[in-house]
Structure 1
Amino acid sequence: MKEIEASIEDLLGQLSLEEKVAMCHAQSKFSTPGVARLGIPEIWMSDGPHGVRGEINWDNWGYAGWTNDSITAFPALTCLAATFNPELSHSYGSSLGEEARYRKKDVLLGPGVNIYRTPLNGRNFEYMGEDPFLASEMVVPYIQGVQQNGVAACVKHFALNNQEKWRNYVDVQVSDRALHEIYLPAFKAAVERGNVWAVMGSYNKFRGQYCSHHELLINTILKGDWAFDGVVITDWGSAHDTREAALYGLDMEMGTGTDGLTTTLTNAYDNYYLANPFLELLKSGEVPEEVLDDKVRRILRLMFRTNMNPDRGMGRMNNQEHLDVARKVASEGMVLLKNQEQFFPLDPDKEMTIAVIGENATRSMTQGGGSSELKARVEVSPLEGLRQRFPRATILHSQGYSSGPSVYGRVEPAPYDADSLKQEALAIASKADIVLFIGGLNKSHLQDCEGGDRENLRLPFEQDNLIKDILKVTKDVGVVLISGNAVSMPW
């Protein structure tokens, strides 16, 4: 460690003011520049907490169209938390870290540990539940598993990002006791026990100040009380002021504009808050150079832990061990709410007719949802899994209801007639020995999705009414909900 700190000081002394400032802000959607003349590499980041996201274009949010960036899709963190299994959390993090390393990523933007302040938060599926102790116990091994691969975990969103609607404007008010007993424990565990190397600031304000450059949260608590020695990174576009970003703990600014260098200079990387405007404050003496040097020390320390660490492995991707971990998390994270007359488990050797009803029986759950969207190499649908599991059964399928396509930021209309789908579902239900209704939420806007909250707790697309109508046809019904959040169940 002493050798690394000495190397950091040596490099710091060789960097110009302009080179140091450049290291504090993005050069593309997911990278920051290095300094080629000194052998300092770029830093490459990637979403997300459930799998390494497909490759994004340099200057915009479009996918780059690579053919070699399909990965293992891991269950959402709410499912991981529901396993109550810290050892499995370590396996999850280790597997994910291997995939990130293989994809040549230095920072993995996760895990998320914001507390479920409301069950309507569209992003709850990305977090480790509503209990501070459980989240704390599960986040530590996850981080350790990721970072043993020489990839930095970036715990997020610090702090109090507990809703998506108006997330860029809301000013959260909580007491000191609630802050420290409910909303900060998992972050504290990530820093003090998990030794996380990066922390992502959140979009919202807390007590009137934006959280990504916050005097109390970052300077006093994170870097002071908890002695965090890593890097504070913005969420994409969460910086708002050069002076506050400089003085209140922000180290790396990402995603302030969506255009990069393509269509306008307004949001070009050199115009970020921690870019040329920061340089001007430094040259005028309004901000002392020691402030910049602290940021660069942290960035260099991150590099010595990741892309300037000669001993880190090469990583692995899409291997059977990772698929096994994903399946184990999924199976241990399932929750059986009610098993009337021992309906489950079904006998795989029994000859019977099973009616599988519901869009979620076939819908992809890796696409959509915002930054957690994945490009999975393998995704087994419930219908496909049932057909493999019950080879002697006759399996009938009806969609039953319809949602629109997965689109971030808006709701697309359903393409099919709802009544026709319902009548078809009721027809096959009447012919079957048992019915498995497979519904819940999906990754579309206003469901399990970043950028918006749910409007209510009901199952969308009239699923409640469909279940009630199926129960009029037969009582032999098992309801399987695929959901990253709470739902009401009036039936």
Structure 2
Amino acid sequence: MKQLFLVLVLMLSANVSFIFAQEEAVEKQIDQIIDQLSLEEKVKMCHAQSKFSSPGVERLGIPEIWMSDGPHGVRAEIEWDSWSYAGWTNDSCTAFPALTALASTFNPALAHKYGVAVGEEARYRKKDILLGPGVNIYRTPLNGRNFEYMGEDPYLASIMSVPYIQGVQTNGVAACVKHYVLNNQEIWRSHINVQLSDRALHEIYLPAFKAAVEEGDVWSVMGAYNKYNGQHTSHHEVLIKQILKGDWGFDGVVVTDWGSAHDTKEAALNGLDIEMGTGTDGLTTSKENAYDYYYLAKPFLEMIKNGEIDESVVDDKVRRILRLMYRTNMDKTRPFGKKANAEHFQVAREVAQEGIILLKNSKSFLPINPETKQTIAVIGENATRMMTVGGGSSELKTVHEISPLQGIEERFTNANVVHAMGYASGPSVYDNVIPSGLDADSLQQAAVDVAKNADIVLFVGGLNKSHEQDCENGDRKGLNLPFGQDELLADIMAVNKNVAVVLVSGNAVAMPWQSKAKAIVQAWYLGSEAGYALADVLSGDVNPSGKLPFSFPVKLEDNGAHAFDELSYPGDGTDQVYKEDILVGYRWHDTKNIKPLYAFGHGLSYTSFKVNNAAVAITNYKKGDSIQLSVEITNTGKVDGAEVIQIYVHDKESSVMRPIKELKSFEKVGLNAGQSKKVDFNIDVNAFAFYDETQRDWNLESGAYQLLIGTASDKIIKTINIQVE
């Protein structure tokens, strides 16, 4: 046994040495390339040459870098110098579920599978950087871009984003984690100056980015639009120069969001590497290439030439860009990629299945038996509306998108499935929502008439990806459902008591009809296989196992960002103060004792589970220790299913204000009916620390702590007391 161990150690050591030798050889090659580049060529590599590419150096064989919007699929091709689509016929893709759905799976292995598949599609389309994942924190349910992110908890976002990044990058395609940082609303996003405590910054808003760098080894980072403490975040002295490239040791490329650069000297000295989309009309309106007048173009070149900026500054940027190239388009070993194949559609369906959340199920109303002969009324525009289009830069041109209605019709072949639109929203073009032209009263009356004569009503509503709903460059105006859906539901429920509501959205919504609904399903934007995945769950072919990645408040004021004045949200047009501080999401609800409509981590199943035992090996720990916790769980129901065991920590004796509980570990456990399983957790005691503003560092205090074991943030089943020295 000792000999085997020694062999393994030697093999690992040899592998590490080989990797270091490879990296050292690459750095030497980069040195040689930099020596051959003219100053003009170096500067040219630091800014765009088209909407989605930056130039190479033809005379030395250095390729261009090509980027694509993500993170849910590879966007259709854009024209060289406009936002119009190029009209290609071979740029369709697999549309994967939105990242809210991925986060809801609480399944890191599935996140890796998702990343591999979307990375394969990017590689096949000859992309070098895929612009995703998004890990901005869900601070307010009004943020139009929440559907692209991974929820309100920094630990969940960290754990789910790292395998996604690693999966993408197995293809020789750089993931680009975004938007760094504090881009937590779309209104005034280009100029709002965010102010918050250092504690909130480090405990809530930075951890997922830190994990992306230190654990995911992400190759690129996208800056955000907004300001932090008076400086734009895409070229920020503290955020990029000190924290990202200093404290975390990020060795990749920082890319602007499109148009988020604002100053040449700041961009040069504060860590920006590639400037994209700075609002010129490119080749179409100037005698010279207008891209040459970006901040990191001719103005940058002139500052270097006149000695205002040292040439070593551009050398560092070029070094990072070349390093990214050696990982992507100059890596001769990277695979070829795949596009829109059966395997990818299956991954999309699997993520959708596991991401769907059963919020309510009165008297086991769901699943619906597909063998029963009955009339099922499917009501709602979202039953047929395409959701892969719209939403801003993450919109997709997919090979196919199975609608909820199609999925239900194909699965429930013994039923008489009828559809009524019920309401209509009209299309959205940029910031203009065009009226549908349909009569709202007629649509509503037709839906009520259909509901009267149905055995079951499946209302498929929610939001869509139009302006001021779930869409980039605009926030929602309120928490309630739009287009009269709340009133429509009230009328339907007055004539039929067997109503299940399927919410298609990337955000929490108010539910004034919640008590009368027999079942409520949170379905997200589920991509190409949306209708099939939804039918899988409604029929019971798949047992739902998704968990909420953010809290649903009863009313908007119950959310921490909205509990104060307008300076907290949306700001006064210039500044914004995060007055809820570290109490984001369930931290706010728990600490302020405000009952949510549905809590973070909540999600029901068609079976039942029981946590029988929970125990730790010892109860006294010190800094650096790992807590070994075992939890026994049993599927006490009659069907197979999966439950997510969630481990929260409570600090009983803290010298500073701390949340009632904070998520520190979780595990998704699949169990056959009647099966029991022991699940082992290893939890780093250092994770109990808080960011101490007096020390400007993390502080693990001695004292009494509790491990809270549950299946949702409001469903704690076992508590274990421990001591930390």
Q: TM (normalized to structure 1)?
A: 0.99
Q: Is the 8 A contact 2:66 2:127 kept in 1?
A: yes
Q: Is the 8 A contact 2:121 2:338 kept in 1?
A: yes
Aligned with 2:56 (options 34, 51, 54): 34
Q: Does residue 404 of structure 1 match 2:447?
A: no
Aligned with 2:463 (options 441, 449, 455): 441
Q: Does residue 217 of structure 1 match 2:239?
A: yes
Could you tell me which amino acid in structure 1 is paired with residue 60 of structure 2?
L
Secondary structure of residue in 2 paired with 1:145: helix
The aligned counterpart of 1:232 is 254
The 1:351–1:33 alpha-carbon spacing in structure 2 relative to 1, beyond 3 Å, is same
Aligned with 1:457 (options 453, 469, 479): 479
Alignment of 1:424-439 (within 5 A): 424-439=446-461
The 1:218–1:455 alpha-carbon spacing in structure 2 relative to 1, beyond 3 Å, is same
Aligned with 1:75 (options 90, 97, 109): 97
Secondary structure of residue in 2 paired with 1:396: strand
Between the aligned partners of 1:34 and 1:267, the Cα distance in structure 2 is 16
Q: Is the 8 A contact 1:408 1:449 kept in 2?
A: no
Between the aligned partners of 2:154 and 2:115, the Cα distance in structure 1 is 19
Q: Is the 8 A contact 1:49 1:112 kept in 2?
A: yes
Could you tell me which amino acid in structure 2 is paired with residue 450 of structure 1?
E
Q: Is the 8 A contact 1:258 1:267 kept in 2?
A: no
Pairwise CA distance, 1:378: 1.4
Between the aligned partners of 1:87 and 1:53, the Cα distance in structure 2 is 25
The aligned counterpart of 1:340 is 362
Aligned length: 491
Aligned with 1:381 (options 390, 398, 403): 403
Pairwise CA distance, 1:406: 3.3
The 1:198–1:118 alpha-carbon spacing in structure 2 relative to 1, beyond 3 Å, is same
Between the aligned partners of 1:327 and 1:28, the Cα distance in structure 2 is 35
Between the aligned partners of 1:209 and 1:446, the Cα distance in structure 2 is 27
Alignment of 1:148-187 (within 5 A): 148-187=170-209
Aligned with 2:109 (options 84, 87, 91): 87
Alignment of 1:124-273 (within 5 A): 124-264=146-286, 268-273=290-295
Aligned with 1:57 (options 67, 71, 79): 79
Q: Which has the larger radius of gyration?
A: 2
The aligned counterpart of 1:489 is 511
Between the aligned partners of 2:422 and 2:155, the Cα distance in structure 1 is 40
Pairwise CA distance, 1:266: 9.5
Per-residue Cα deviation, 1:61-98 (whole angstroms, up to 9, x for no partner): 00000000000000000110010000000000000000
Higher normalized contact order (CA 8 Å, seq sep 6+, divided by chain length):
1
Secondary structure of residue in 1 paired with 2:424: coil
Pairwise CA distance, 1:263: 2.3
Between the aligned partners of 1:292 and 1:415, the Cα distance in structure 2 is 55
Q: Is the 8 A contact 1:59 1:258 kept in 2?
A: no
Pairwise CA distance, 1:261: 1.2
Could you tell me which amino acid in structure 2 is paired with residue 323 of structure 1?
F
Deviates further, 111-120 or 403-412: 403-412
Deviates further, 85-94 or 399-408: 399-408
Between the aligned partners of 1:451 and 1:419, the Cα distance in structure 2 is 31
Q: Which runs of 4+ in 1 moved over 6 A?
A: none
Aligned with 1:310 (options 296, 313, 332): 332
Between the aligned partners of 2:280 and 2:342, the Cα distance in structure 1 is 37
Q: TM (normalized to structure 2)?
A: 0.67
Pairwise CA distance, 1:267: 8.6
Answer 1 or 2: which has greater strand percent. Answer: 2
Aligned with 2:346 (options 320, 324, 340): 324
Q: Is the 8 A contact 1:259 1:267 kept in 2?
A: no
Secondary structure of residue in 2 paired with 1:154: strand
Q: Is the 8 A contact 2:381 2:421 kept in 1?
A: yes
Per-residue Cα deviation, 1:412-467 (whole angstroms, up to 9, x for no partner): 21220000000100111111111100000001000010000001011000100000
Secondary structure of residue in 2 paired with 1:323: helix
Secondary structure of residue in 2 paired with 1:19: helix
Per-residue Cα deviation, 1:141-194 (whole angstroms, up to 9, x for no partner): 000000000000000000000010000110000111000000000000000000
Between the aligned partners of 1:400 and 1:431, the Cα distance in structure 2 is 15
Secondary structure of residue in 2 paired with 1:481: strand
Between the aligned partners of 1:109 and 1:266, the Cα distance in structure 2 is 29
Q: Is the 8 A contact 2:461 2:485 kept in 1?
A: yes
Q: Is the 8 A contact 2:145 2:185 kept in 1?
A: yes
Secondary structure of residue in 2 paired with 1:274: coil
The aligned counterpart of 1:413 is 435
**What RMSD in Å do the two structures reach over aligned CA positions?**
0.9
Between the aligned partners of 2:55 and 2:347, the Cα distance in structure 1 is 35
Q: Does residue 393 of structure 1 match 2:415?
A: yes
5+ long unaligned stretches in structure 2: 1-22, 514-725
The aligned counterpart of 2:579 is none
Could you tell me which amino acid in structure 1 is paired with residue 359 of structure 2?
L
5+ long unaligned stretches in structure 1: none
Between the aligned partners of 2:384 and 2:271, the Cα distance in structure 1 is 46
Pairwise CA distance, 1:258: 4.6
The 1:305–1:417 alpha-carbon spacing in structure 2 relative to 1, beyond 3 Å, is same
Aligned with 1:99 (options 96, 106, 121): 121
Secondary structure of residue in 2 paired with 1:269: helix
The aligned counterpart of 2:522 is none
Q: Does residue 46 of structure 1 match 2:65?
A: no
Could you tell me which amino acid in structure 2 is paired with residue 107 of structure 1?
I
Answer 1 or 2: which has greater helix percent. Answer: 1
Between the aligned partners of 1:405 and 1:180, the Cα distance in structure 2 is 40
Q: Does residue 298 of structure 1 match 2:317?
A: no
The aligned counterpart of 2:24 is 2
Q: Is the 8 A contact 2:187 2:474 kept in 1?
A: yes
Pairwise CA distance, 1:58: 0.3
Between the aligned partners of 1:265 and 1:390, the Cα distance in structure 2 is 62
Q: Does residue 13 of structure 1 match 2:70?
A: no
Deviates further, 196-205 or 335-344: 335-344
Pairwise CA distance, 1:232: 0.2
